[in-house]
């Protein structure tokens, strides 16, 4: 009895620390199998290491609004006044939770922090830090995640990612990288679809992994956009670590049939870890049908996407 009292007094005297997370591996595996949605090809769920405790995926689904505060044409995030935009995001989150109550939803603001340009030495433009800080402030009002997206232009991830470390080291800030605007030759962004190799992606992942270790963070999330095969090369060489959760996001627009086909050809066939799906409020409705995919429709996909992005 005395030993138990002494032990309790010792625990009570310890300084307050960050809560210790525990990974529920059984729940993790059940959710991975659910996302695989009965796949019979043997591709899903892909094998990989368990994440560090405190991982967001696959315990939550992420629903994100994408864009830039300087442009109404780059996505819904910058199209409406902040309060109206956040209300629309909360409504989409509610729609997803209603469609799939097994996965609580984390709202997110996916902000293009480095935009591709046709002018300038590196053919990109970095957003001022005060704009990124505004996004962080908006996210805090609804307890949302933040993704900082990079369009490198003629630059590189090795140059651009470290410039954002002051934000990426924050617990709720994650990273997106866009191969479409990664030009490996002196072709202007937008004139040709760019590309990232597994080496580029592994650099980004390793950088995030080191941040997690350095600052004792829960796992970071890395989103890579894709709608053509050549946008991401050597997919099988992409490395997965316990510190970083990887999402390959189907970023194409068009008819439902085209988008589903793109998902099947460029997401389903080359599994990495988790999948995402992008919905364009405007570009997806320029067809005669003018229909957007609903949550219930996307939940029938193999695999089911865990990250949903609205443009």
User: For the residues 299-304, what does the mean pLDDT come to?
Assistant: 97
Residues contacting 245, CB < 8 A, separation 6+: 51, 55, 56, 57, 219, 220, 221, 222, 273, 274
Query: Would you tell me how many other CB atoms lie within 10 Å of the CB of residue 310?
Result: 20
Tens digits of residue pLDDT in 123-179: 999 999 999 999 999 999 999 999 999 999 999 999 999 999 999 999 999 999 999
State how beta strands 220-226 and 124-126 pair: unpaired
Q: Per-residue pLDDT for 205 more than 80?
A: yes
What is the reported pLDDT for 72?
Answer: 84
Structure-token pair, residue 120: 């300038």
Q: Per-residue pLDDT for 16 more than 50?
A: no
Within a domain: residue 91?
yes
Distance CA 71, CA 61 (A): 27
DSSP 68: B
Within a domain: residue 248?
yes
Distance CA 7, CA 92 (A): 49
Residue 251 binned pLDDT confidence (cut-offs 50, 70, 90): confident
Within a domain: residue 4?
no
- Residue ranges of the alpha helices (H) in the chain? 2-13, 25-36, 82-99, 129-141, 157-160, 165-168, 198-215, 256-263, 295-298
What is the reported pLDDT for 272?
Answer: 97
Give the helix, strand, coil percentages of the chain, each rounded to 5: 40, 20, 40
Determine the angle formed by the axes of helices 82-99 and 129-141, rounding to 10 degrees: 50
What is the reported pLDDT for 77?
Answer: 94
Structure-token pair, residue 183: 């030009």
Domain hosting residue 155, numbered range = 61-310
CATH number at residue 250: 3.20.20
Q: Does the CA dihedral 200-205-208-214 come out positive or negative?
A: negative
Residue 284 binned pLDDT confidence (cut-offs 50, 70, 90): low
Contact 67, 266 (CB under 8 A): no
Q: What is the average pLDDT score of the chain? A: 91
Residue 287 binned pLDDT confidence (cut-offs 50, 70, 90): low
Tens digits of residue pLDDT in 68-117: 998 888 889 999 999 999 999 999 999 999 999 999 999 999 999 999 99
Tens digits of residue pLDDT in 21-71: 789 999 999 999 999 999 999 999 999 999 999 999 999 999 999 999 988
Residue whose token pair is 């994100």: 64
Structure-token pair, residue 207: 């950088």
Within a domain: residue 238?
yes
Within a domain: residue 220?
yes
How many structural domains is the chain composed of? 1
Cα–Cα distances in angstroms (integers) from residue 254 to residues 32, 64, 258, 292, in the given order: 29, 19, 6, 10
Cα–Cα distances in angstroms (integers) from residue 1 to residues 5, 7, 8, in the given order: 6, 10, 11
Q: Which of 108, 110, 119, 194 is nearest to 157 (CA)?
A: 194
Residue 12 binned pLDDT confidence (cut-offs 50, 70, 90): very low
What is the reported pLDDT for 26?
Answer: 94
What is the reported pLDDT for 19?
Answer: 47
Tens digits of residue pLDDT in 260-271: 999 999 999 999
User: For the residues 199-211, what does the mean pLDDT come to?
Assistant: 98
**235 versus 252: which is more confidently predicted?**
235
Over the range 99-112, which residues count as b (16 or more CB within 10 Å of their CB) and which as e? ebeebebbbbbbbb
Q: Count of alpha carbons within 13 Å of 215, Cβ hemisphere only?
A: 17
DSSP letters along 145-182, please? EEEEEE--BTS-HHHHGGGGHHHHTSTTEEEEE-GGGB
């Amino acid at each position: 009895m005395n030993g138990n009292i002494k032990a309790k007094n010792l625990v009570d005297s310890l300084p307050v620390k960050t809560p210790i997370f525990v990974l529920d591996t059984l729940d993790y595996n059940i959710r991975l199998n659910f996302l695989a949605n009965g796949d019979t090809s043997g591709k899903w769920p892909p094998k990989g290491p368990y994440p560090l405790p405190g991982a967001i995926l696959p315990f939550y689904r992420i629903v994100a609004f994408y864009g830039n505060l300087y442009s109404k044409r780059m996505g819904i995030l910058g199209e409406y006044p902040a309060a109206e935009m956040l209300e629309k995001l909360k409504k989409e989150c509610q729609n997803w939770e209603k469609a799939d109550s097994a996965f609580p939803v984390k709202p997110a603001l996916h902000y293009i922090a480095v935009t591709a340009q046709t002018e300038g030495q590196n053919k990109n433009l970095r957003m001022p830090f005060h704009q990124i800080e505004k996004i962080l402030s908006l996210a805090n009002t609804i307890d949302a995640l933040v993704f900082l997206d990079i369009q490198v232009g003629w630059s590189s991830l090795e140059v651009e990612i470290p410039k954002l470390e002051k934000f990426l080291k924050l617990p709720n800030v994650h990273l997106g990288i866009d191969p479409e605007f990664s030009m490996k030759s002196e072709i202007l962004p937008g004139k040709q679809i760019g590309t990232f190799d597994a080496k580029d992606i592994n650099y980004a992942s390793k950088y995030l992994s080191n941040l997690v270790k350095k600052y004792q963070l829960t796992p970071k999330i890395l989103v890579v956009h894709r709608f053509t095969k050549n946008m991401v090369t050597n997919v099988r060489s992409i490395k997965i670590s316990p510190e970083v959760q990887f999402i390959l996001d189907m970023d194409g627009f068009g008819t439902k049939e085209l988008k589903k086909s793109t998902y099947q050809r460029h997401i389903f066939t080359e599994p990495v870890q988790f999948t995402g799906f992008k919905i364009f409020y405007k570009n997806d409705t320029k067809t005669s049908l003018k229909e957007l995919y609903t949550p219930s429709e996307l939940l029938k996909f193999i695999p089911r996407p865990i990250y949903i992005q609205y443009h």
